[in-house]
Amino acid sequence: MRLDKFLADCGAGTRSEIKKLIRSGAVRVDGLSKVMPDTKVNEETSKVYLNGVPVSYKKFVYLMLNKPDGCVCATYDKNKAVVTDFVPPQYKHFDVFPVGRLDIDTVGLCILTNDGDLAHRLLSPSKHISKVYSAEVRGSLSDSDIKAFEGGMDLGDFVAKPAKLKIISSSDDKSVAEVTICEGKFHQIKRMFLKLGYEVTYLKRIAMNRLMLDESLAEGDIKELTTDELELLTYGTK
């Protein structure tokens, strides 16, 4: 890999800025200061320093966002905030995108990455990756609703696969439940509840595959996944 591309991928600046840095002597590679933009480096073994600070190469990045209400799961929207608006400056050069979509009023776990292959695997129907949501609905949920979710549901334009409904609490006015699905069709959970006569008033994604939302993150907060968290997210996808 060329040295200038290595540094650009690491967020050290634009190609023109990096070339100036290299020619000024600010960059050393394996102890050598006389390097050029086209100097070849090994992203795994070369020791690269910029102004005396070691630079580690990172091809992909994996971020967890606690998505807030009113935010669109996209990289651009003409009128509304998008999830990539919350990406800190040090990650901007990765050009991340959201893995899948959440409705604008759905909050919670949103994964942002530049790893297209992983995103494809997480969203592939053949992988059966589970997504868990916490839902609040108007009305009293019952065992018959659990069976309705388990049996799959004809929503008109498609038949939802069997899903798991776990009732956390139930009263005449309000019920709280956890819903586990392996799909992610447009408004799917809201439509499933609506077919049974319930209006969803709050929806939050709390897990994807084996990865749980870090509850220490306030809505709008974002962090890079740890190695252990990435393993939980990618479990069974390879």
Structure tokens at 115: 């790893």
Q: What is the pLDDT of residue 231?
A: 97
Q: What is the pLDDT of residue 15?
A: 87
Q: 229 and 181, same structural domain?
A: no
Structure tokens at 34: 């006389």
Would residue 103 show up in a list of annotated catalytic residues for this protein? yes
Give the pLDDT of the chain (238 residues) as one tens digit per residue. 999 999 988 888 888 999 999 999 999 999 998 999 999 999 999 999 999 999 989 899 999 999 999 999 999 999 999 999 999 998 999 999 999 999 999 999 999 999 999 999 999 988 999 999 999 999 999 999 999 999 999 999 999 999 999 999 999 999 999 999 998 888 999 999 999 999 999 999 999 999 999 999 999 999 999 999 999 999 998 8
CATH number of the domain residue 43 falls in: 3.10.290.10
pTM of the predicted model, to two decimals?
Answer: 0.89
Q: Largest alpha-carbon pair distance within the chain? A: 75
How many whole angstroms separate alpha carbon 149 and alpha carbon 153?
Answer: 7
Q: 173 and 135, same structural domain?
A: yes
Q: 219 and 201, same structural domain?
A: no
CATH number of the domain residue 142 falls in: 3.30.70.1560
Q: What is the pLDDT of residue 197?
A: 97
For the chain, how many structural domains are there in total?
3
Q: 177 and 145, same structural domain?
A: yes
Measured between its terminal Cα atoms, the distance across the chain in Å is: 27
- Distances in Å between the Cα of 96 and the Cα atoms of 76, 82, 217 are 12, 12, 19
Q: 76 and 40, same structural domain?
A: no
Q: 142 and 118, same structural domain?
A: no
- What is the domain range of residue 91? 62-125+211-234
Q: 216 and 204, same structural domain?
A: no
CATH number of the domain residue 107 falls in: 3.30.70.580
**DSSP E strand boundaries for 152-199:** 153-154, 159-160, 164-170, 174-181
Q: Which residue has the tokens 């935010």?
A: 71
Q: What is the pLDDT of residue 200?
A: 98
HSE, CB side, 13 Å, CA atoms: give it for residue 200: 22
DSSP letter at 210? T
- Which of 103, 173, 214, 221 is an active site residue? 103
Q: 215 and 188, same structural domain?
A: no
Over residues 74-86, the pLDDT tens digits come to: 999 999 999 999 9
